[in-house]
């Protein structure tokens, strides 16, 4: 019962606070004002270590503009906590864990400051991230987030399980859907693992980022879920991907029930859809290999796109010293700090010249090289109104038809596409 | 004249006192004691409830303080939207299914167990504590135990062997909600047993003795003396179970991973959470909340009418 009380109370509290009104702290002067600021970091230990080191370096050079860092306060998701803070008017200056999917909502709430409004802001974003920056532009043409780091998702596989299933562990056939399904069948038939691959079959809006979306990005040659205000997935590529996953579920190669834990770490599944964070997490505990996500007819790896799983930095309107916040944002995304981030977390800074800039790092850590290469071909979630509602609508139809086999896949995609297009067209 | 003047002068303070009594009551000090709770109710329940009703008639979203946003009055538009949404309609049907299983089961089990625990049985105190433990244990911990029991490879399916349902309990559209209803019944049972135990103390023992002298057996005594004797408690149990059941959230969120499979165990509060908090649409979420509150009030009124009759 605590959760429902929490949900209702949070919503009502947000309403109460919103009705109370108050000072936004977002006056035009704030953009040039300097002074102490607060920032929020993600709550994973590696990022906290990087964040604390970055803050220490900044504070040493800027004693009058002290930065105080803390983890994002506990909540169901970071987005809920940030959304509540925006409404209450106590959001920090910078959040180093801003989900691109939530940016349209934060923007609508009046919680974000466009980086274009700072001198050289847009140029800084575009020069650092290159062409991929465009995916993070809002419909009004401005940047309300700086693309910070990505976790391009790929297929991790357990070599020991592959070997036990009679599959070549060094080069398992996973490039085409047919190969992937045949390999999966061998894994399950041999009893080497309970499932070939076990993405969470649950209904949260973000789960499609780790099953359908990476494969759709690959199959469609880099399309976003919604482009030019229209859903793109009601297409040959979308249907092909959805049918592929539907086959995995129908044949029992993927489980319809959520695994309570990490199915890949527990060796219940032979494969997993992961980002470069997995290198450090699985380390020596799993004898792993990595492959690009499959496509229907097989593509060469250098043509394959995937989902970026990026986390960005937002500058919030409640910040009183936005001048300092913008400088800290640039400092934290400088070549030096991006290098530190890569070194300490294994996550890929969203820089156009990633591999050449940190060539030494990739020479020393070849296991990250594959991810770095994939990082140059990523697709972000669309930056459109009602982004989360669109993902939820998609997930609901996907769950029914693909995971639980109710109704036809093509009808489900058509229904989800109609709803997504309608939602994207609303303000 | 003198007497009239005296009467008038004594009438004046008396009438002002009676006015004061009419407004403040005979013990004005009582208001001081009641005020903190009245303020608490107004601030924590009445004002947010009123605000939620107001939000449900606007095109509303949460905004930063001072942000220039347009949130116009839209009449019944939000209500039309949610009533036209199959996911919302399904969540209401799901919760009705839940209540139809949970409430009768709660009443029957808690009354039977309370009657048993009220008798002279060995280990009574230990059993009372045992039934109460799930109620005071965090839902998250209990959900973990039920996942261990009811997941595909869980203990229940292992015991059932070939008789295990396919798809398994928690991913089976027909079984997910009944499993949740049974889980909630089991979890809340201790509290309702406690209510019935208190009520049973008010049933005169002489009635049972008289019934025994008349040759009534235990079952007859239970149906003819215990059940009518605890009727006020039954009204309370039914209303409380209905209210808590209508607010179902934690169990579909955790046990069936967000109302799965395919929305078969979603509840109105879960959909409110998705729309209001996750998707930033507090207007439609508030409309669901208002419909839910009205529904629960109606069900509670009907229950009261049916159960409180002589």
CA of A208 to nearest chain B CA: how many angstroms apart? Answer: 14
279-298 in B: which are within 8 Å (CB) of A? 279-282, 285-286, 289
A19 touches chain B (CB under 8 A): yes
Give the separation between CA A242 and CA A233, rounded to whole angstroms: 10
Q: What is the pLDDT of residues B219-268, one digit of tens each?
A: 999 999 999 999 999 999 999 999 999 999 999 999 998 887 989 999 99
Give the separation between CA A221 and CA A314, rounded to whole angstroms: 29
Q: What is residue A10's predicted lDDT score, i.e. its pLDDT?
A: 45
Give the separation between CA A153 and CA A184, rounded to whole angstroms: 19
Give the separation between CA B212 and CA B58, rounded to whole angstroms: 64
Please tell me whether residues B159 and B105 are part of one structural domain. Answer: yes
132-171 in B: which are within 8 Å (CB) of A? 138-139, 144, 147, 151-153, 167-168, 170-171
Q: What is the pLDDT of residues A168-227, one digit of tens each?
A: 999 999 999 999 999 999 999 999 999 999 999 998 899 999 999 999 999 999 999 999
Indicate whether A330 pLDDT > 90.
yes
Indicate whether B84 pLDDT > 50.
yes
Please tell me whether residues B181 and B44 are part of one structural domain. Answer: no
Cα A108 to Cα A149, A189, A224, A227: the distances in Å are: 24, 51, 21, 20
CB of A400 within 8 A of CB of A411? no
Test A8 with B278 for CB contact under 8 angstroms. no
CA of A387 to nearest chain B CA: how many angstroms apart? Answer: 8
Of B144, B253, B277, the CB nearest to A11: B277
B47 touches chain A (CB under 8 A): yes
A418 touches chain B (CB under 8 A): no
Place of tokens 């970055």: A54
Please tell me whether residues B254 and B107 are part of one structural domain. Answer: yes
Alpha helices in A76-225 (DSSP H): 78-88, 103-108, 121-129, 159-164, 177-190, 212-219
Q: What is residue A427's predicted lDDT score, i.e. its pLDDT?
A: 67
Place of tokens 């005071």: B136
The reply to whether B290 falls in a domain is yes
Indicate whether B203 pLDDT > 50.
yes
Give the chain B residue whose CA is nearest to the CA of A106. B63
The reply to whether B183 falls in a domain is yes
The reply to whether B124 falls in a domain is yes
Indicate whether B7 pLDDT > 90.
no
Of B22-26, B110-114, B250-254, B275-279, the poorest mean pLDDT is in B22-26
β-sheet with A67-71: strand ranges across: A67-71, A37-41, A94-98, A311-315, A146-150, A348-349
The reply to whether B8 falls in a domain is no
DSSP assignment of B266-285 equals --HHHHHIIIIIISS-HHHH
DSSP assignment of A360-422 equals HHHHH-HHHHHHHHHHTSEEPPP--TTHHHHHHHHHHHHIIIIIS--S-HHHHHHHHHHHHHH
Instruction: Residue B239: count other Cβ atoms within 10 Å of its Cβ.
Output: 18
Whether the bond into B167 is cis, omega within 30 of 0: yes
- Which residue from B139, B132, B97 is spatially nearest to B268, judged by alpha carbons? B97
Mutate to test the interface with A, among B262, B273, B284 (most CBs of A within 10 A): B262
Please tell me whether residues B25 and B159 are part of one structural domain. Answer: no
Give the separation between CA A376 and CA A302, rounded to whole angstroms: 9
CA of A368 to nearest chain B CA: how many angstroms apart? Answer: 33
Q: What is residue B11's predicted lDDT score, i.e. its pLDDT?
A: 58
Q: What is the pLDDT of residues A371-422, one digit of tens each?
A: 999 988 999 999 999 999 999 999 999 999 999 999 999 999 999 999 999 9
The reply to whether B67 falls in a domain is no
Please tell me whether residues B156 and B125 are part of one structural domain. Answer: yes
Task: Give B-chain residues touching A4 at CB under 8 angstroms.
Answer: 247-250, 269, 273
The reply to whether B258 falls in a domain is yes
Indicate whether A241 pLDDT > 50.
yes
Q: What is residue A76's predicted lDDT score, i.e. its pLDDT?
A: 74
Give the separation between CA B227 and CA B46, rounded to whole angstroms: 36
φ, ψ dihedrals at A186, nearest 5°: -65, -40
CATH code: domain of residue B137 = 1.10.3720.10
Give the separation between CA B225 and CA A21, rounded to whole angstroms: 59
Domain region containing B159: 77-307
Task: Give B-chain residues touching A263 at CB under 8 angstroms.
Answer: none
Q: What is the pLDDT of residues B263-293, one digit of tens each?
A: 999 999 999 999 998 888 999 999 999 999 9
Place of tokens 């579920």: A249
Structure-model confidence comparison of residues A150 and B122, the more confident one: A150
353-392 in A: which are within 8 Å (CB) of B? 386, 388-389, 392
The reply to whether B123 falls in a domain is yes
B185 touches chain A (CB under 8 A): no
Give the separation between CA A378 and CA A224, rounded to whole angstroms: 10
DSSP A158: E
Domains defined along chain A, listed by start = 27-144+311-349 (3.40.190.10), 154-308+384-425 (3.40.190.10)
A26 touches chain B (CB under 8 A): yes
Place of tokens 């993927």: A254
Continuous segment of H or E residues that includes residue B53: helix B47-55
Task: Give B-chain residues touching A205 at CB under 8 angstroms.
Answer: 274, 278-279
Give the separation between CA B251 and CA B229, rounded to whole angstroms: 34
Give the chain B residue whose CA is nearest to the CA of A15. B62
Give the separation between CA A177 and CA A244, rounded to whole angstroms: 7
Q: What is the pLDDT of residues A121-178, one digit of tens each?
A: 999 999 999 988 999 999 999 999 999 999 999 999 999 999 999 999 999 999 999 9
Indicate the pairing of strand A195-197 with strand A348-349.
unpaired
Q: Among B55, B85, B104, where does a domain finish?
A: B55
Tallying the residues shown for chain A, one arrives at 427
Mean pLDDT, chain A, rounded, equals 91
Please tell me whether residues B34 and B87 are part of one structural domain. Answer: no
Of B47, B63, B247, the CB nearest to A109: B63
Structure-model confidence comparison of residues B12 and A393, the more confident one: A393
Task: Give A-chain residues touching B47 at CB under 8 angstroms.
Answer: 16
Give the separation between CA A318 and CA B74, rounded to whole angstroms: 29
Provide the token pair at B22. Answer: 């009419």
Please tell me whether residues B141 and B210 are part of one structural domain. Answer: yes
Of A24, A257, A389, the CB nearest to B171: A257
Test A7 with B276 for CB contact under 8 angstroms. yes
The reply to whether B72 falls in a domain is no
Please tell me whether residues B44 and B155 are part of one structural domain. Answer: no
Please tell me whether residues B22 and B169 are part of one structural domain. Answer: no
CA of A80 to nearest chain B CA: how many angstroms apart? Answer: 6
A399 touches chain B (CB under 8 A): yes
Taking the CA atoms of chain A, what radius of gyration do you get in angstroms?
A: 22
Indicate whether B39 pLDDT > 60.
yes
Instruction: Residue A228: count other Cβ atoms within 10 Å of its Cβ.
Output: 9
pLDDT confidence bin for A26, thresholds 50/70/90: very low
Test A202 with B144 for CB contact under 8 angstroms. no
The complex scores an ipTM of 0.82
Domain count, chain B: 2
- Say how many Å lie between the first and final Cα of chain B, rounded: 60
Give the separation between CA B280 and CA B61, rounded to whole angstroms: 6
What is the percent of chain B with per-residue pLDDT over 90, rounded to a whole number? 70
pLDDT confidence bin for A9, thresholds 50/70/90: very low
Test B280 with A105 for CB contact under 8 angstroms. yes
CA of B97 to nearest chain A CA: how many angstroms apart? Answer: 18
pLDDT confidence bin for B131, thresholds 50/70/90: confident
Please tell me whether residues B50 and B193 are part of one structural domain. Answer: no
CA of B18 to nearest chain A CA: how many angstroms apart? Answer: 40
CA of A146 to nearest chain B CA: how many angstroms apart? Answer: 21
- Which residue from A304, A311, A379, A376 is spatially nearest to A347, judged by alpha carbons? A311
Indicate whether A1 pLDDT > 60.
no
Dihedral sign computed on CA atoms, order A150, A154, A158, A159:
negative
Q: What is the pLDDT of residues A307-327, one digit of tens each?
A: 999 999 999 999 999 999 999
Tallying the residues shown for chain B, one arrives at 310
- Which residue from A198, A223, A221, A222 is spatially nearest to A211, judged by alpha carbons? A198
Provide the token pair at A220. Answer: 């469609």
CB of A102 within 8 A of CB of A79? yes
Q: Residue B114, SS3?
A: helix
């Amino acid at each position: 019962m605590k959760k429902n009380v929490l949900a209702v109370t949070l919503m009502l509290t947000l309403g109460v606070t919103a009705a109370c009104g108050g000072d936004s702290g977002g006056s035009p002067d704030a953009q040039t004002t300097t002074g102490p600021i607060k920032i929020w970091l993600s709550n994973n230990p590696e990022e906290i270590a990087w964040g604390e080191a970055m803050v220490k370096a900044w504070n040493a050079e800027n004693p009058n503009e002290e930065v105080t860092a803390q983890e994002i306060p506990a909540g169901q998701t970071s987005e809920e906590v940030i959304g509540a803070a925006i409404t209450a008017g106590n959001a920090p200056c910078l959040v180093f864990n801003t989900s691109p999917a939530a940016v349209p909502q934060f923007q609508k709430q009046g919680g974000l400051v466009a980086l274009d409004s700072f001198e050289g802001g847009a140029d800084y974003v575009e020069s650092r991230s290159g062409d991929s920056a465009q995916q993070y532009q809002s419909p009004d043409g401005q940047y309300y987030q700086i693309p910070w780091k990505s976790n391009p998702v790929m297929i991790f596989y357990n070599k020991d399980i592959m070997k036990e299933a009679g599959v070549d562990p060094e080069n398992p056939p996973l490039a085409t859907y047919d190969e992937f399904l045949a390999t999966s069948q061998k894994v399950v038939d041999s009893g080497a693992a309970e499932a070939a691959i076990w993405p969470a079959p649950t209904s949260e809006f973000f789960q499609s980022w780790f099953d359908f979306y990476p494969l759709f990005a690959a199959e469609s040659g880099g399309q976003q879920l919604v482009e030019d205000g229209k859903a793109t997935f009601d297409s040959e590529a979308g249907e092909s991907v959805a049918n592929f996953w539907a086959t995995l579920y129908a044949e029992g190669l993927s489980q319809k029930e959520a695994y309570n834990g990490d199915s890949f770490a527990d060796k219940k599944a032979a494969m997993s859809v992961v980002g470069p964070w997995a290198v450090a997490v699985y380390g020596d505990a799993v004898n792993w290999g990595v492959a690009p996500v499959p496509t229907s007819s097989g593509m060469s790896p250098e043509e394959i796109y995937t989902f970026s799983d990026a986390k960005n930095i937002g500058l919030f309107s409640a910040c009183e010293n936005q001048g300092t916040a913008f400088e800290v944002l640039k400092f934290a995304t400088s070549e030096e700090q991006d290098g530190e981030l890569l070194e300490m977390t294994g996550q890929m800074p969203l820089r156009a010249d990633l591999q050449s800039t940190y060539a030494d790092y990739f020479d020393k850590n070849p296991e990250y090289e594959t991810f770095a290469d994939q990082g140059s071909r990523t697709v972000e979630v669309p930056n459109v109104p009602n982004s989360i509602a669109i993902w939820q609508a998609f997930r609901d139809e996907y769950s029914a038809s693909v995971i639980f086999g109710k109704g036809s896949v093509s009808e489900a995609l058509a229904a989800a596409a109609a709803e997504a297009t309608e939602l994207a067209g609303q303000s | 004249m003198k007497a009239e003047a005296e009467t008038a002068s004594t009438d004046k303070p008396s009438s002002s006192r009676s006015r004061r009594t009419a407004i403040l009551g005979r013990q004005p000090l009582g208001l001081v004691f009641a005020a903190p709770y009245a303020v608490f109710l107004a601030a924590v329940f009445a004002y947010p409830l009123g605000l939620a009703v107001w939000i449900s008639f606007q095109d509303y979203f949460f905004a930063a303080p001072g942000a220039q946003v347009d949130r116009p009055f839209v009449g019944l538009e939000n209500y039309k939207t949610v009533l036209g949404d199959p996911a919302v309609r399904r969540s209401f049907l799901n919760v009705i299914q839940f209540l139809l299983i949970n409430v009768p089961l709660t009443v029957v089990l808690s009354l039977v167990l309370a009657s048993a625990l009220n008798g002279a049985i060995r280990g009574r105190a230990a059993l009372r504590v045992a039934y109460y433990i799930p109620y005071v244990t965090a839902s998250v911990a209990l959900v973990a135990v039920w996942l261990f029991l009811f997941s595909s490879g869980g203990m229940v399916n292992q015991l059932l062997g070939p008789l295990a349902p396919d798809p398994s309990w928690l991913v089976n559209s027909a079984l997910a909600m009944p499993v949740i209803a049974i889980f909630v019944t089991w979890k809340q049972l201790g509290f309702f047993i406690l209510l019935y135990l208190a009520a049973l103390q008010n049933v005169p023992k002489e009635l049972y003795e008289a019934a025994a002298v008349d040759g009534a057996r235990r079952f007859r005594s239970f149906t003819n003396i215990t059940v009518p004797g605890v009727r006020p408690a039954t009204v309370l149990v039914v209303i409380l179970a209905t209210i808590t059941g209508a607010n179902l959230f934690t169990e579909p969120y955790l046990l069936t991973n967000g109302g799965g499979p395919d929305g078969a165990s979603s509840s109105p509060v879960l959909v409110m959470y998705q729309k209001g908090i996750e998707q930033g649409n507090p207007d439609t979420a508030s409309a669901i909340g208002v419909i839910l509150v009205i529904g629960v009030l109606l069900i509670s009124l009907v229950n009261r009418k049916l159960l409180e009759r002589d």
